[in-house]
């Protein structure tokens, strides 16, 4: 499950760029392809945050930090 | 003399003092000097590892790449999120093993994991050969930044000597502690400066980001999308993937992993680092703004686009602040590279050949080697010809060849033998050297292949041959070991 989630940004960047390789429309001030890649970068953080929360390795870690 | 000069010079002096002061209250034994006694908390580990993104190469190179090539520069934005995803699992595993076996360098890891001194030596040689040109690149960048930001008052030659002297002094005194403290200052400054430039310049000159990109698209056809040939999507994908795999394979980044106090640090850093790296987007904005405002730079001069536009836009004192930031982006990574190269020479080459050498002697030798390595780098910076350029191009591809053997070492079954790992790295590195020196690409080697394959980064071929060799040699050597009667 976590490994599958981790694949999302890889697919988004490496495969997504094939569909979104165009300059227009400009979204949020960025050419489409650049906007897509920025979105994938933000998604990487989001995906890692979810993985972090469901990863049992971090439970004891957080408990010991309290 | 103008306002920029004292600010740039002040940054150099400040870095030196802070770097030296970092040693206070620490007994600089080998483990303390190289990996901070494995005691660093999240913030230090964060700036040592995430801060590695912001070197002179990214400060000058990312804006220069966007200025000169346009869309292919997007790759700079894409490799690090993928590298951080890998890091979530990779770094804690590396850290645990290194701590358990009290390792202090990257070659130590391979030597211990595969139980092979020869493999340790090979990894050390590959690392040093990749690191020296990387140090040269930082010094070259430093020379350019100081000369430009001081409006020519400091010559590049003086700047290079000054920079090398400063990092040698604080590396010898404080080791990784000096790099960590100065990295905090560096990352704070670059965050402020880059965010300001990347927002202010497009708004000031074009009225907004969208307006700037529309102006760029109108002036330069196809500049904002990946081209159909050359630096195409195939090039982009293969380069992003290769760079992501090689990200933590740099010997100084690998050693930074060991400095952490606990393994949860890496997982927490992985979550926020992609957002932190997004700052590179703003560096690229500067490059795109410069294509229209200060056109005409070509060749190596494209790397000056950020400074040219800044000089045109701001008062000298602010150019001094940008210059001071640039100076830090050269000095801090330079200090880590310098320490790691000297340490690997002493710990893995010298001690690799004379295993009985005690820690104290290795520490003394490493500190003696710091100014020696710095002098070699200064020599290449001031006299380097085509060789050093070729080595630079190879550096990243070299260290990426260490990745397959690292991953294989964590497999539950022993799939790869020490002979397999050794042969794989050797073949990978040889392939990189051969293709770079011959200036060959997949397109020139196999012109009949379809364009999508021809544009692939040549590093893919080296990595493929590396893995293939690794597996075949492992298969052969494992069968031989199995046939031998147990003693």
Write the DSSP assignment of B302-366 as a string of letters: GGGHHHHHHHHHS-HHHHHHHHHHHHHHHHHHHHHHHHHHHHHIIIIIIHHHSTT--HHHHHHHH
A52/B268 Cβ within 8 A? yes
A45/B82 Cβ within 8 A? no
ipTM for the predicted complex: 0.90
CA triplet B458, B340, B54: central angle to 5 degrees? 65
**d(C-alpha B135, C-alpha B337), whole Å:** 6
Q: Is A25 on the interface with B (CB under 8 A)?
A: no
Contact between residue B316 and residue B4 where contact means Cβ atoms under 8 Å apart: yes
Q: Is pLDDT above 80 for B482? A: no
**d(C-alpha B143, C-alpha B155), whole Å:** 7
Tens-digit pLDDT profile for residues A4-59: 888 888 988 888 888 888 888 888 889 998 999 999 999 999 999 999 998 888 87
Structure tokens belonging to residue B158: 């003086």
Among B149, B128, B134, CA closest to B11 = B149
Find all residues with CB under 8 Å of B81, minimum gap 6, and list them: A9, A13, A40, A41, A44, A45, B274, B277
Contact between residue A32 and residue A26 where contact means Cβ atoms under 8 Å apart: yes
Among B329, B343, B15, CA closest to B178 = B15
Contact between residue B306 and residue B125 where contact means Cβ atoms under 8 Å apart: no
Higher pLDDT, B433 or B345: B345
Q: Is pLDDT above 60 for A62? A: no
Helix (H) or strand (E) holding A50, with range, is: helix A32-54
CB atoms under 10 Å from CB of B231, counted, come to 18
- B366-372 long-range Cβ contacts below 8 angstroms, 24+ apart: B366/B30, B366/B33, B366/B34, B366/B339, B366/B342, B367/B33, B367/B172, B367/B342, B369/B342, B369/B345, B370/B168, B370/B171, B370/B172, B370/B338, B370/B339, B370/B342, B371/B168, B371/B172, B372/B342
pLDDT at B487: 44
* Nearest Cβ partner for B71 among A13, A29, A33: A33
* Nearest Cβ partner for B213 among A13, A31, A55: A31
| Packing angle, helices B106-113 and B117-149, rounded to 10 | 160
The chain A residue lying nearest B218, using CA atoms, is A23
Provide, rounded to the nearest whole percent, the portion of chain B with pLDDT above 90.
Answer: 47
**d(C-alpha B32, C-alpha B366), whole Å:** 13
B74/A42 Cβ within 8 A? no
Among B207, B163, B124, B81, CA closest to B381 = B163
B4-384 carries CATH number 1.20.1730.10: yes
| B198, B224, B228: best to mutate for the A interface, most A CBs within 10 A | B224
Higher pLDDT, B85 or B486: B85
pLDDT at B423: 95
Contacts of A40 in chain B (CB under 8 A): 78, 81
Helices assigned H by DSSP within B151-262: 156-174, 176-206, 209-219, 233-246, 251-258
B281/A38 Cβ within 8 A? yes
A48/B217 Cβ within 8 A? no
Tens-digit pLDDT profile for residues B205-254: 999 898 899 888 888 888 888 888 878 888 889 889 988 998 899 999 99
Tens-digit pLDDT profile for residues B114-158: 999 999 999 999 999 999 988 998 898 888 888 888 888 889 899
Neighbouring-strand partners of residue B260 = B40
CB atoms under 10 Å from CB of B300, counted, come to 12
Tens-digit pLDDT profile for residues B384-402: 766 666 666 688 889 999 9
* Nearest Cβ partner for A14 among B225, B241, B262: B241
Q: Is pLDDT above 90 for B19? A: no
pLDDT at B387: 62
CB atoms under 10 Å from CB of B165, counted, come to 14
Work out the pLDDT band at A66, boundaries 50, 70, 90.
very low
pLDDT at B232: 84
B278/A57 Cβ within 8 A? no
Q: Is pLDDT above 80 for B479? A: no
> Dihedral through CA B184, CA B187, CA B188, CA B192, nearest 10?
170
Work out the pLDDT band at B166, boundaries 50, 70, 90.
very high
Find all residues with CB under 8 Å of B32, minimum gap 6, and list them: B26, B175, B177
pLDDT at A60: 65
pLDDT, averaged across chain B: 88
* Nearest Cβ partner for A26 among B92, B214, B267: B214
A44/B226 Cβ within 8 A? no
**d(C-alpha B361, C-alpha B372), whole Å:** 17
Residue with tokens 């002179």: B56
B71/A61 Cβ within 8 A? no
pLDDT at B55: 79
Among B338, B203, B361, CA closest to B282 = B203
CB atoms under 10 Å from CB of A64, counted, come to 9
pLDDT at B51: 67
Residue ranges per domain, chain B?
Answer: 4-384, 401-487
| Nearest CA distance, B205 vs chain A (angstrom) | 15
| Nearest CA distance, B54 vs chain A (angstrom) | 17
Size of interface A-B (CB pairs under 8 A): 107
Tens-digit pLDDT profile for residues B343-359: 999 999 999 899 998 99
B226/A33 Cβ within 8 A? yes
**d(C-alpha B472, C-alpha B417), whole Å:** 10
């Amino acid at each position: 499950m976590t490994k599958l989630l981790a694949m999302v940004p890889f697919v988004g960047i490496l495969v997504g760029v094939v569909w979104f390789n165009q300059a227009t429309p400009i979204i949020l001030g960025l050419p489409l392809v650049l906007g897509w890649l920025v979105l994938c970068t933000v998604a990487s953080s989001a995906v890692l945050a979810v993985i972090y929360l469901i990863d049992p390795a971090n439970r004891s870690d957080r408990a010991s930090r309290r | 003399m103008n306002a920029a000069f004292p600010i740039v010079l002040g940054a150099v002096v400040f870095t030196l003092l802070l770097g030296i002061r970092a040693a206070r209250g620490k007994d600089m034994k080998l483990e303390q000097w190289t990996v901070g006694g494995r005691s660093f908390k999240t913030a230090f580990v964060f700036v040592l590892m995430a801060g590695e993104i912001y070197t002179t190469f990214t400060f000058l190179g990312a804006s220069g790449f966007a200025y000169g090539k346009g869309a292919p520069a997007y790759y700079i934005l894409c490799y690090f999120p993928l590298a951080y995803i890998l890091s979530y699992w990779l770094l804690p595993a590396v850290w645990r093993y290194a701590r358990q076996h009290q390792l202090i360098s990257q070659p130590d890891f391979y030597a211990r994991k595969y139980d092979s001194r020869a493999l340790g030596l090979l990894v050390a040689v590959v690392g040093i050969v990749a690191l020296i040109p990387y140090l040269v690149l930082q010094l070259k960048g430093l020379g350019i930044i100081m000369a430009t930001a001081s409006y020519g008052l400091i010559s590049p030659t003086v700047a290079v000597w000054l920079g090398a002297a400063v990092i040698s002094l604080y590396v010898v005194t404080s080791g990784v502690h000096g790099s960590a403290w100065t990295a905090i200052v560096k990352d704070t400054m670059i965050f402020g400066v880059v965010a300001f430039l990347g927002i202010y310049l497009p708004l000031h000159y074009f009225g907004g980001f969208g307006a700037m990109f529309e102006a760029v698209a109108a002036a330069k056809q196809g500049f904002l999308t990946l081209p159909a040939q050359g630096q195409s999507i195939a090039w982009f994908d293969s380069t992003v993937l290769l760079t992501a795999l090689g990200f933590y394979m740099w010997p100084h980044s690998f050693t930074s992993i060991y400095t952490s106090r606990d393994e949860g640090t890496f997982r927490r850093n992985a979550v926020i680092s992609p957002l932190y790296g997004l700052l590179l987007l703003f560096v690229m904005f500067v490059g795109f703004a410069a294509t229209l405002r200060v056109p005409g730079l070509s060749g190596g001069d494209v790397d000056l686009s950020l400074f040219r536009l800044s000089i045109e836009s701001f008062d000298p004192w602010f150019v001094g602040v940008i210059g001071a930031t640039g100076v830090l982006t050269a000095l801090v990574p330079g200090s880590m590279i310098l320490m790691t190269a000297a340490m690997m020479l002493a710990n893995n080459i010298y001690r690799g050949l004379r295993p009985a050498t005690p820690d104290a002697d290795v520490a003394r030798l490493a500190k003696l080697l710091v100014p020696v390595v710095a002098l070699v780098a200064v020599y290449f910076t001031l006299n380097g010809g085509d060789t050093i350029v070729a080595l630079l191009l190879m550096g990243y591809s070299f260290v990426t060849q260490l990745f397959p053997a690292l991953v294989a070492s964590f497999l539950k079954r022993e799939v790869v033998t020490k002979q397999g790992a050794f042969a794989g790295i050797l073949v990978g590195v040889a392939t990189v050297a051969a293709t770079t020196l011959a200036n060959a690409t997949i397109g020139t080697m196999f012109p009949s292949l379809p364009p999508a394959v021809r544009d692939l980064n040549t590093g893919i071929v080296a990595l493929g041959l590396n893995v293939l060799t690794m597996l075949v040699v492992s298969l052969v050597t494992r069968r031989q070991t199995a046939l031998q009667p147990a003693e």
